[in-house]
Chain A
Amino acid sequence: MQDQEGVGRRELYVAELHGDELSSNAAAWPLVDDWAQRHIPREGDKVQHVGPAPTVTVEASSDGQRLLTLRQPDDSDGSLLWVSEVALGLPDAPFLAGIRVRLSSIPGTAVTPLEYEFGVPAIVRTLLREFTVLDGGERTEARFVELGSSMVEPQVAWLSAEERRLPVVVVTRTRESGSVRVDARALARDRARSRAVLRTCVVDAD
């Protein structure tokens, strides 16, 4: 059963990843477990964090699905606890992962402003690299995609695809200078930070 995970949870990241038919949750499990275990200090390791030691708990349901929860104090602020949860579906079914990252205050600590740096979780980058993760039949990646004219038509078909679940941000170039008014790279990176892996397209990349 779940143990105490701190109070005042702030959910920073939520993503649901669907793999293709060739993927499986059983194949994903070693990657997830390896990622979590890397956060647990081994004997002789220099402990970098303050506060309680990181812990990993794994719950398996009767049908073989798994929920891994990694709890670790913030490297620089011992009053903050990071809780990362990775859920995997039925072992032989196509890969279905749910990832949630929360930031909590450890009970009894002083009230201080919440300051943190947060990037795309490493486990999400790993899973996107190792598996073909799909949204509406298109591969999901944590980066932006440049589209030339010939690529627009299939993208329009995908925009209208009933099975698409994620928003798409289209950035266009200005008519006069051909520049973009927003940093698409930062947008793709920041969107990935912001609780969902989404897709950014830049059109007019002729």
Chain B
Amino acid sequence: MLSSAHASWTLTELIGPSPSAWDGAVRVYFPGFTPQDDPYRHRLWLCDRVHIGLVARLRSWFGTLAASRTAEHPVHEQLRVDRYARLEKAIASSDTAYLLEYMSALEAEDERQRAEIDELKEQNAALTREAERSSDELEAMRSNFAEIQRFMPARQPRVPAEVEDGPLTVGAAIDDIARQLNTRYYRDRVAITPQALDAGRAFSSHNSPAELLRAAHTVMEAGALHHDNKLGTTPMDYFAQRGFGYGAQPGPHLKVDENTSPDQCLRIYWEDDPETRQWTITDIGRHR
């Protein structure tokens, strides 16, 4: 969820939620960044992953990157060219003193390179050991996770923190939808009509306000992605992946409950403005 902190909101509004950072997270943006990048390219540490050791980890990581990616200063190339020119002159004039000096320098450089290769070999061996250890740990963690998962209850619909206390009502769910659509993230992306809010509140007979809320969140998120041209699939597939049906006639709508009584048959209808790419939710209520 987005943080309420103002600057994080601004950052998220400008670049979108995937590549953004908020709520105590730390993110590294590498050169060449664009908001359309794969977010994994710009490493993110969420709040619960940020710890004291992160500073040392970044230090080591950036150090390796800087050493490998910082280009040689042009003076080095020019000095090599100059030395080579002197060498040619020395050969032409049989200046053995310079030839010997040149050879000594080459031998010294050779020794340095060999020492560097040895150090890189040591580093490689240490990293290989570290990778093997991490791989073992990951395997053990996967195994533990699978074991724990077997004993966990089925996943419950996600409910926002604000409505976690006490039983969720349809009215509270509609209030939450209205509040979220009024945030800066959704304001220009997804709208809702007052009639839709009223209709949602009037549908108080629905027996699963949490599912109603999850359905509305799914439409809102899809609308925001559609607005940003990032849905990446058809609405039908998008909603099917989230356990909902989709209908396009008479207008686009989400099918929440298919096989139930009319007073539980929830639908969310919206309109799509092709010019602004904004979705406007026009009805939350019974199938019509």
Binding site for B on A (CB under 8 A): 1-5, 7-12, 14-16, 59, 61-63, 65-67, 87-89, 96-98, 136, 147-149, 151-153, 156, 159-160, 162, 164-175, 178-183, 186-187, 190-191, 193-196, 198, 203-206
Contacts and interface: CB of A to CB of B under 8 A. Distances in A.
A16 B30 contact: no
B10 A149 contact: yes
A152 B20 CA distance: 12
Given A65-B75, A153-B14, A187-B55, A169 B28 contact: yes
B73 A203 contact: no
A148 B8 CA distance: 9
Given A152-B14, A174-B24, A175-B4, A89 B74 contact: yes
Interface residues of B, number: 66
Contacts of B137: none
B78 to A, nearest CB: 4
Contacts of B30: 167
Majority secondary structure, B binding face = helix
B24 A170 contact: no
Nearest to B9: A149
B76 interface: yes
Given A2-B105, A9-B115, A175-B3, A166 B31 contact: yes
Given A2-B108, A4-B108, A172 B62 contact: no
Interface of B: 3-11, 14-15, 21-35, 47, 50-52, 54-56, 58-60, 62-63, 65-67, 70-76, 78-79, 81-83, 85, 101-102, 104-105, 108-109, 111-112, 115-116, 118-119
B7 A148 contact: yes
Nearest to B62: A194
Contacts of A162: 32
A172 B3 contact: yes
B7 A205 contact: yes
Contacts, number: 196
Contacts of A195: 62-63, 66-67, 70
Q: Which of A1, A2, A88, A187 has the most CB of B within 10 A?
A: A1
A8 B115 contact: yes
Q: Which of B32, B71, B102 has the most CB of A within 10 A?
A: B32
Contacts of A67: 73, 75-76, 79
Given A4-B108, A196-B66, A173 B24 contact: yes
B62 A89 contact: no
A115 to B, nearest CB: 16
Contact of A173 (B5, B83, B108): B5
Contact of A175 (B24, B32, B50): B24
Contacts of A15: 66, 70
Given A9-B112, A88-B75, A183-B55, A164 B62 contact: no
A86 B28 CA distance: 28
Nearest to A67: B75
Given A65-B78, A182-B55, 6 more contacts: A8-B118, A14-B66, A15-B66, A97-B73, A152-B11, A175-B23
A46 to B, nearest CB: 32
Q: Which of B3, B15, B60 has the most CB of A within 10 A?
A: B3
